[in-house]
Amino acid sequence: MWRDNLKLASFREVPLERTVIRVGELEIGRQLVVIAGPCSVESEKQTIRTAQKVKEAGANMLRGGAFKPRTSPYDFQGLGLKGLKILALAKKETGLPVVTEVTDPRDVSWVSEYADVLQIGTRNMQNFSLLKEVGKADKPVLLKRGMNSTLKEWLNCAEYILAEGNPQVILCERGIRTFETYTRNTLDLSIVPAVKETSHLPIIVDPSHGTGRLSLVEPMCLAALAAGADGLMVEVHHNPGEAFCDKDQALSPEMFGRLMGKIKMLRDCLDRFD
C-alpha cells in the first residue's frame, strides 16, 4: 500500500484527527479561508489598494509573489526584497496575514521574516532541497501540487516537509496538465475528497491558475467548496487590465466582492450538511 511510506502525511490514528494550522487568528482546516491578492507584487500602490479591497470583501489572507518563477527569463521576475517589504506594509495596513512564494533554499530563512505562510509553487513541488529547508522553518507551508504530479507524489513531498519537523503543511490544488487547451490547466477537484480520505492535512484550491480564465474562476471556487475544500486562493488585481502577469485570470475587486457573497451563502448551506 503506497500510503505505508507516508508515515506522517497519511492518516495514522483512529479516530481520524485532522490537522488544523493556525495563522494569526485563523484556523486553517477548521474554518473556511479565502486567500486573495495579486499574482505579483508590482508596486506599493497596487498591492495596498488590492489588499484593502480584498479585506473589505472579506478575504482572510493576502497573497502576492515577490519571487516569480516565469516561463521566460525576460518576463517580470518579481521585486524580491522590495516586494516583501511592500507585503509587510500591506499587512500592517489591513491586518491580513501574508502568503508568498519562496523559490530558493537560500532564501527561506529571511523570507520567513516577512511571510506568515511560505508558498512552494507548482514548479518547485519536487525541489527536495527547498522542501527540506521549509521543513526546518517555523512557518506554515502552502504546498502547491506539481502540474504533472500524482496524489502519491504530492503527499510524498508533504512528507519531506513533515519529516524535517515542520507539521504545518497546507496542500493546494492548482490544476494539472492534460490534453485540454481551452483552460490553462485542468482543475482536478476529485483530488479534494481524495486528499480527505488519505491525509489529515488541509487542502485549498486555486481556480485562478487551475483554469486561467476569468469566467471560470467563480464557478470553480464554488465547486471546490462543494467538494470539501478547506479554502480558496484567488488572484485579484485592483486594475486587472494593467496586471504585470496573469491578467486574464485576475478578478477585479467588484467581481471578488460578488464571489465572496456567493461563498458565504454556499458556506452556510454546506454547514447544514455537518
Which residue in this structure is represented by grid cell 502568503? Answer: 99
* Cis ω for the linkage preceding 15 (within 30 of 0): yes
Report which residue type is found at 81: L
Does the protein bind Mn ion through residue 39 (CB under 5 A)?
Answer: yes
Contact string (CB under 6 A) for ligand PEP, positions 210-249, x = contact: ----------------------------------------
Alpha-carbon gap, residue 31 to 9, rounded angstroms? 21
Does the protein bind ligand PEP through residue 174 (CB under 6 A)?
Answer: yes
- Phi and psi angles of residue 37, each rounded to the nearest 5 degrees, phi first: 155, 180
Does the protein bind Mn ion through residue 246 (CB under 5 A)?
Answer: yes
By rule CB under 5 A, what count of residues binds Mn ion?
2
Comparison of 29 and 146: residue with beta carbon closer to ligand PEP: 146
Alpha-carbon gap, residue 168 to 219, rounded angstroms? 29
Alpha-carbon gap, residue 34 to 230, rounded angstroms? 9
Smallest separation, CB 156 to ligand PEP (Å): 18
Comparison of 37 and 253: residue with beta carbon closer to ligand PEP: 37
CA 245 to each of CA 27, 103, 233: distance values in angstroms, whole numbers, following the listed order? 30, 17, 16
Smallest separation, CB 68 to Mn ion (Å): 8
CB contact set of 205 (below 8 Å; sequence gap of 6+): 172, 173, 174, 187, 189, 192, 220, 221, 224, 227, 229, 231, 232, 233
Contact string (CB under 5 A) for Mn ion, positions 64-103, x = contact: ----------------------------------------
Contact string (CB under 6 A) for ligand PEP, positions 103-142, x = contact: ------------------xx--------------------
Comparison of 39 and 155: residue with beta carbon closer to Mn ion: 39
CA 195 to each of CA 3, 98, 231: distance values in angstroms, whole numbers, following the listed order? 12, 25, 14
Does the protein bind Mn ion through residue 159 (CB under 5 A)?
Answer: no
- Residue number, nearest CB to ligand PEP: 121
Smallest separation, CB 209 to Mn ion (Å): 6
Comparison of 10 and 50: residue with beta carbon closer to ligand PEP: 50
Alpha-carbon gap, residue 161 to 174, rounded angstroms? 19
Alpha-carbon gap, residue 54 to 119, rounded angstroms? 19
Given 144, 184, 196, 238, the residue binding ligand PEP (CB under 6 A): 144
Contact of residue 249 among Mn ion, ligand PEP, none (CB under 5-8 Å per partner type) = none
Comparison of 10 and 161: residue with beta carbon closer to ligand PEP: 161
- Phi and psi angles of residue 132, each rounded to the nearest 5 degrees, phi first: -65, -40
Comparison of 149 and 208: residue with beta carbon closer to Mn ion: 208
Give yes or no for a contact between 98 and 87, defined as CB atoms under 8 angstroms apart.
yes
Site residues for Mn ion per CB under 5 A: 39, 246
Which residues contribute to the site for ligand PEP (CB under 6 A)? 39, 65, 101, 121-122, 144, 174, 209
